[in-house]
Amino acid sequence: MNSRLIAARVLSRVLQDGQSLTAALDNVMPTIESVKDRAFVQALCYGVCRYYHRLDFILSQLLDKPLKDIDVKCLALIGLYQLQFMRVKPHAAVSETVAAARKKPWAKSLINAVLRSYLREQDRIEQQADQEQSAAVSHPHWLIQQIQHDWPQQSLQLFLENNHQPPMVLRVNLARTSREHYLNLLIERDISAVPVDFCMSALRLDRPVPVDLLPGFEQGLVSVQDTAAQLAAQLLDVQPGQRVLDVCAAPGGKAAHILESQPQLKELVAVDIDAARMQRVSENLQRLTLTARLLVGDAANPEAWWDGQTFERILLDAPCSALGVVRRHPDIKLLRRAEDIAQLQSLQKNILDAIWPLLAPGGILLYATCSVLKQENEQQIQAFLTAHSDAAQLPIEASWGSGREFGRQIFTGESAMDGFYYARIIKR
């Protein structure tokens, strides 16, 4: 099947059915035999999602009326993306995209006309796109307003970073090898990487590579995890003999890192509401030959799964808007809605309140999100501390991120990291 047609059908599942790009691609990738074709389909889908708001505006300037056929619209967007952002030769981009609409003669002529019109009027249309706010930064209007409200000084940089492709970062299993030794293993494979100075387990690759090319991956020497997510283990500061609870644990990267960092734990309990995602936690721990107690349960209702024994450390990787990882999941800009934020904020509060009794006196709770919105982050923690007299903030002194009155914020792209937020709370 034509690669562009496959990509169009993937995109239609995202735009029309609300399916995540990851899930939509997972459904079709096994059916594509060629590695090169799989990479091309993925590049098209991620690229169109990343620049959807700009491409959609440009398409609207080239049409007399909106396209109702979602598959044809996706093909037109794919054509425009190739012409604007890829190294595909223009004649090939046009002819192959037109050919993908082979069962709809009217669509072939329309796509051909749209793409050729764009090539003729490219400079004028691009200038128009630069004048329209949503098209200029390729974000939905509600999100532009939200980020500008929260971070007026940083907003433009955040929009730019969200549209960049993220780096691939490795977490070296320091219980099994040293970062220096693993870096040498990468050099032997002609894989270039640099150590991250403020995170002892992190290596940032110059270029992404398939995990099966990483030395010792199957043997558990290394995992793929952004630097910002790797900071959780050191902030939790787990000591030998302690019980640790990882709430909303899937897919298990932070739980694994905690176990690698402190092999002398008494126990790590990982909880997630999604049984399928919990299976991924199990698989990740098996690859790393690590052991934890895995529970499928609702974090907002611990009475259903908690055994009554308190924990000295709790990691709450709270469900959030994920607006700090838009560069890794650009479909978030298409699927997330403004009204989602208040619902997530309420869920975060409910989980925080429900989990707090599980923390032992003197214990530490680490609150984490992959968001840059204040409602989910510092405002959430401020409200929690106000409502709980036995809770106090532990300052985070660090060379990374920006210290806030409550917690510490990492802006997307800062030190090449994903957007993240952390707050440490101690029980008096």
- Nearby residues of 163 by Cβ (< 8 Å), 6 or more positions away: 50, 51, 137, 138, 327, 330
- What is the structure's pLDDT at 36? 95
Catalytic residue among 49, 74, 199, 370: 370
CA atoms in the 13 A half-sphere facing the CB of 335: 22
Q: Using CA atoms, how far apart are residues 111 and 189, in angstroms rounded to an integer?
A: 44
Span 26-35, average pLDDT: 95
Pairing of strands 267-272, 293-296: parallel
Q: Using CA atoms, how far apart are residues 211 and 213, in angstroms rounded to an integer?
A: 5
For the question of residue 370 being annotated catalytic, the response is: yes
Band the pLDDT of 1: cuts 50, 70, 90.
Answer: confident
Give how far Cα 264 sits from Cα of 166, 172, 240, 242, 277, Å: 34, 19, 5, 8, 26
Exposure letters 135-153 (e unless 16+ CB within 10 A, then b)? bbbbbbeebbebbbebbee
From the list 387, 383, 384, 409, the residue with the least C-alpha distance to 396 is 409
Dump pLDDT digits (tens) for 314-334. 999 999 999 999 999 999 999
Pairing of strands 420-427, 408-410: antiparallel
Q: Using CA atoms, how far apart are residues 97 and 129, in angstroms rounded to an integer?
A: 23
Q: Using CA atoms, how far apart are residues 178 and 225, in angstroms rounded to an integer?
A: 17
Write the DSSP string, 70-100. HHHHHHHHHHHHHHHHS-S-HHHHHHHHHHT
Query: Dihedral of CA 244/250/256/257: which sign?
Result: negative
How many Cβ atoms are within 10 Å of 106's Cβ, its own excluded? 10
For 409, the 3-state DSSP assignment is: strand
Dump pLDDT digits (tens) for 388-420. 999 999 999 999 999 999 999 999 999 999 999
Chain centroid to Cα 199, Å, comes to 19
| pTM for the model | 0.96
Q: Using CA atoms, how far apart are residues 127 and 136, in angstroms rounded to an integer?
A: 9
Band the pLDDT of 369: cuts 50, 70, 90.
Answer: very high
Does the pLDDT of residue 291 top 80, yes or no? yes
Please report, rounded to a whole number, the percentage of residues in the chain having pLDDT higher than 90: 99
Contact 277, 261 (CB under 8 A): no
Dump pLDDT digits (tens) for 125-156. 999 999 999 999 999 999 999 999 999 999 99
From the list 17, 83, 78, 71, the residue with the least C-alpha distance to 49 is 78
